[in-house]
Structure 1
Amino acid sequence: MSNSLRRIVISGLAIFAVAGTGIPALAQSTGEEARLRKLESEVRALQRQVFPGGDGRYFEPQISSAPAANGANTAPSTTAVTDILIRLDAMEAQIASLTAQTEVNSNALVQITNRLVALETTPGSAASGSNAAASSSAPANILANTAAGSGNSSTVTPVTSATPVPAQTATAASGPSAARLAAVQQIAKPQTDDAADDEYSYGFRLWNAGFYPEAQQQLTMFVEQYPNHWRATYGRNLLGRVYLDDGKAQEAAPWFLKNYSTNKTDARAPDSLLYLGEAMIALNDTSRACIALAEFADEYPALASGRLSSQYQANLAKVDCN
C-alpha cells in the first residue's frame, strides 16, 4: 500500500471514531494485556506498602484545619495552669482593694482620734466632766474638772496637767494676830548640812502644829526649789495632806496626783494615790474615788495588805464601788 493510500485509510478511521460509529476497536495482543495486568498488580502492591489504610479500613483523623461549618472560629480550651493564673489575678486585685480600704479606714481612725484628743484638751469640754469618761481614763484624768463636779465655786487649774494650785497666803487682809505670829515663831527651823531637808522638816513641823496656811507656803517653796531632792516626794505628798486637813480637798487632789504620776516607785507615791481616793471621797465623787482605790490595790498589793491596810480599808468602807 502506497503512502497516500495509507493516510486516506487512517483519516477515515478517525472520522468514524469521532462520529460515534460502532466500528470495533482493534484487538490487542494477548501478551501486551498480560503485561499490563502485571504492572497494575505491582502498582497496587506498592501502594499498599507506601500508603497503608488506603483500602478504607482506617478512619480519617478527627482534627482538621478546615474552618467550622458556620464560619465561626472556635477558641482553644483553657488549661489548668491558665485557670490558676486567672484566679491569682483576681485574688491580687481583691487584696489590693482590701489594702486600699484598710489604709482609708486607718486614716479615718487617726483623724477621729485627733479630734477626740482636741475635744478632751479643750477647757470646759463636756466629755471631761462625765463619769463614764473618768471610768475608762488613766489616773492622770481622774480629777478632770472636779470643780464643776463638786459644786465648789472656787477656780482651780485643771488637774489633767498635774499642775498644783498656787499656795494660799498665810495671812488675811488684816494680817495675822500677834498671838499667831508668836506661836509660829516658836516653831524652830532645823539647821543642818542639808538645806533642802531643813526646808521640808520646817514645813512638816508647821503642819504638825496645825499652822496649815504657813505649812502650805513653806512646803510649796520647798517642792519648787528642790524638785529633784530625795525629800521631794515627801514634800508633795505632805503638801496635799496639809490642804486636805485644812478642808481643801479640791486643792489637795492635784498635789496627790502629781506626786503619784511623777514616779510610781517613789517612797510616797502609793500614799498619794490612796490620799487621792480620800480627796475624791471628800468631794463626793464616788466614781473617781473608786478608780483611785482600784488603782492603788492593783499597783501596790503588798501595801494594801500591809502598811497602808487600815487606811485603804477605811476608804473602801466609805464608798460603794462596783
Structure 2
Amino acid sequence: MRHAVLAVSTLSLMLPIASAATAQSVPIETRVDRLEKEVRAVQRKVFPGGAPIEPEITRQPAAPAQIGTPASTPLSDLMARVDALEGQLASLTGQTEQNAYKIKQLEDAFAKYKADMAAATASTVSPPPLAATPANASAPPKVTPTPAASDARRNAVAVVERPETGDAAGDAYTYGFRLWDAKFYPEAQAQLKSALDKYASSGFASRISNLLGRAYLDDGKPALASVAFYENYQKRPKGDRAADSLTWLGEALIQLKKPADACKVYSQLEQDYGSTLSATLRGMMEKGRTRAKCGA
C-alpha cells in the first residue's frame, strides 16, 4: 500500500491543473489517452491482484435530439471524458493519502509506546543511587542469606522435572512452564530468557515469549512484562500466543497506571484478533476495558 501511496502522490504532483494556454497547445485526444493510461496505472498499483474499479467514463447512449436543441460535438464529448477521468484520479489520490495518514498515525502511536516502555523498563531495572555514608557513621550490618533457606529453595527447584522428549525447544518451554507453575518466578524467567535466545525462530518462540511476560507479571514486574508481551506481538503477530500477549499487555499497562495506553491495546486486540478471540481472552479484555474506563 505504501508503494501505491507513493505512486499516487507522485502522479498527483505530475498532474497540475493545466492553464488555458496549455490546454490549447495539447490536442484534446492526446489528453484523454494520457489520462486513461495514468488512471489504469494508478488502479493497478492501488488494487494489485484484484479487479480495479472501472471508471465510469463510457459514452452514454445519445438521447433523441429535440427540435431546436443543437447536437453534442466530438469536442464536447472528449471534454466530458477528460472531466470524468480527472475527477476519478482526484478521488483515488484522496483515498490513498487518507490511508497513508491512518497508517502513519498507527506507526507513530506504537513507536511512542515502545519508547515509553523502554524508559519504564530502564527505571525499573536500574538500582537506586547509594547515599554517601558519613565518615563517623557506623557501616550497616552486612546481611547474608540464610544458608538453610537457600539450600531449601535449590532443593525445591531441583525437584522440578526436566523433560527429555528429544524436542529441545519444546523441552525448554515445558521446563520453564513447570518452574512458573511451581511459582519459582526468577528461575522461570532465567530459563525462558535462555530458551528464547536459543529458539527464537522455532514454533515454540511465541509460547516462550508470552510465558516470559507472565513470569515477570506474576513476579511483580509489570514494566518488564509489558516489554516481553509487546515484543512477542510485534515480532510474531501470527504466533499462537500473539493474542494472549496483547491481552496481557493491557493488564500490564493497567498495573503501570497507563489506562489510556491499555485502551489503545484493547482496540488493537479487537481489530487484529476480534473474530478469533477465545472466551477467556475476550472476558479479560472486557474486564480490562472496564477497569481502564475505556470510552468513558
Give the alignment's TM-score, normalised by structure 2: 0.55
Take 2:235 and 2:119, find their aligned partners in 1: how far apart are those partners? 25
2:116 to 116, 122, 145: 145
Match of 1:268 in 2: 241
Alignment deviations for residues 215-236 of structure 1 (CA, whole Å, 9 cap, x no partner): 0000000010011111110000
Contact 2:210 2:232 in 1 (8 A): yes
Match of 2:87 in 1: none
Q: Which moved more, 1:192-201 or 1:172-181?
A: 172-181
Match of 2:21 in 1: 88
Match of 2:264 in 1: 291
Contact 1:237 1:271 in 2 (8 A): yes
Gap regions ≥5 residues in structure 2: 1-18, 26-103, 128-142
Task: Report the AA paired with residue 191 of structure 1.
Answer: E
Take 1:312 and 1:149, find their aligned partners in 2: how far apart are those partners? 23
State the structure with more CA Rg: 1
Going from structure 1 to structure 2, the CA distance change for 1:259 and 1:177 (only over 3 Å counts) comes to same
Alignment deviations for residues 60-94 of structure 1 (CA, whole Å, 9 cap, x no partner): xxxxxxxxxxxxxxxxxxxxxxxxxx9516998xx
Going from structure 1 to structure 2, the CA distance change for 1:305 and 1:236 (only over 3 Å counts) comes to closer
Take 1:148 and 1:245, find their aligned partners in 2: how far apart are those partners? 21
2:286 to 301, 313, 320: 313
Match of 1:208 in 2: 181
Going from structure 1 to structure 2, the CA distance change for 1:151 and 1:320 (only over 3 Å counts) comes to farther
Choose between structure 1 and 2: higher helix proportion: 2
1:245 to 218, 229, 252: 218
Contact 2:117 2:226 in 1 (8 A): no
Q: Percent identity?
A: 37
Going from structure 1 to structure 2, the CA distance change for 1:256 and 1:134 (only over 3 Å counts) comes to farther
Match of 2:150 in 1: 177
Take 2:201 and 2:234, find their aligned partners in 1: how far apart are those partners? 15
Going from structure 1 to structure 2, the CA distance change for 1:149 and 1:185 (only over 3 Å counts) comes to closer
Take 1:173 and 1:219, find their aligned partners in 2: how far apart are those partners? 28
Contact 1:143 1:253 in 2 (8 A): no
Gap regions ≥5 residues in structure 1: 1-85, 93-132, 157-171
> Secondary structure of 1:264's partner?
coil
Match of 2:172 in 1: 199
Take 1:149 and 1:216, find their aligned partners in 2: how far apart are those partners? 19
Give the alignment's TM-score, normalised by structure 1: 0.50
Contact 2:120 2:223 in 1 (8 A): no
CA apart distance, 1:316 = 1.3
Match of 2:201 in 1: 228
Q: Which runs of 4+ in 1 moved over 4 A?
A: 89-92, 133-136, 147-153, 172-176
Take 1:185 and 1:206, find their aligned partners in 2: how far apart are those partners? 10
> Secondary structure of 1:308's partner?
helix
